[in-house]
Amino acid sequence: MEDFFFNTSIQEGDLTLRCHRKTGLCLVLVEVAQVASLLADNKDRLFSLFSEEEQEYCKKFRFPKRLHEWLSGRIAVKYCLLRDNKRIALRPNPRDFSILPDSHGRPICFPLSGEKSTNISLSHSHGYAVAMAADRPCGVDIQHIGAQILKVRDRVATTDEIALANRHIPGNLEAALTLLWSTKEAVKKHRLPKYPGLFEAIFVQRIIPEKNQPWTLECRLPADNEKQSVQAVHLDQYMLAWCKG
């Protein structure tokens, strides 16, 4: 992870956020265990990052695991936005705006001004939450690489797609399938208003490797014969994919 993200400490070291920035986008990774620990040790301090509306929304969660993931994802989104103040017209205080779901469950930023920002996306998997903020609509997904994906390989991709991914990740079918899964999830999140389906509506046609750089995956959306490029990177036991349009 350290080769892709650099560490940025916030809250006097209570939380360590990993950040990746490029022109037009920012990615932030949060470790869920750190958020759970801070919630147990100093709830008031943790909740100082959240608006009153978000704190009220937290009351909906009955299971601690789901609450920890939700809090971690919102922290990641907030610091994606705060890394570039152009994205939000407020003083840089994370509790000054809310990250709440819309009718599709997608995260939406609600600043105090009432103006909505939809150029954000988030995901979580096996102990990590990741968020993306961009200058255009976007989608991000992180997936843990594990044997469970072998049980749903026919849902994840076609035979041709699996063969394509295997050529770029030889000898590791689990990683190849997870690359395809995370790529399609990122596209789904980005294209949700037009493409409510998932794998049946997205086809990976080409994977372009670059030395010491993320893969570029070219996807086709048959419904309107559109194309979508996705960036993806292998991070230890995870695949991370993101795109914007």
DSSP character for 12? G
- Strand order of the β-sheet with 138-144 is 138-144, 238-244, 226-235, 213-221, 203-210
Taking only the tens place, the pLDDT of each residue in 158-180 is 999 999 999 999 999 999 999 99
* CB-neighbour burial class of residue 236 (10 A; exposed 0-12, middle 13-18, buried 19+): exposed
Residue 243's nearest CA partner among 207, 212, 218 is 218
Q: Delimit the domains of the chain by residue range.
A: 6-135, 142-244
> In this predicted structure, what is the pLDDT of residue 112?
57
Classify domain 142-244 at the CATH topology level.
Ribosomal Protein L22; Chain A (3.90.470)
Tell which phi-psi region holds residue 68, choosing left (phi > 0), alpha (psi between -120 and 50) or beta: alpha
Domains 6-135 and 142-244 belong to one CATH topology: yes
Please check the confidence at residue 88 and state whether its pLDDT lies above 70: no
List 210's β-bridge partners, or say none. 213
| Model pTM score | 0.91
Tell which phi-psi region holds residue 41, choosing left (phi > 0), alpha (psi between -120 and 50) or beta: alpha
Per-residue confidence band for 185, with pLDDT thresholds at 50, 70 and 90:
very high
> What number does CATH give the domain 6-135?
3.90.470.20
> In this predicted structure, what is the pLDDT of residue 160?
97
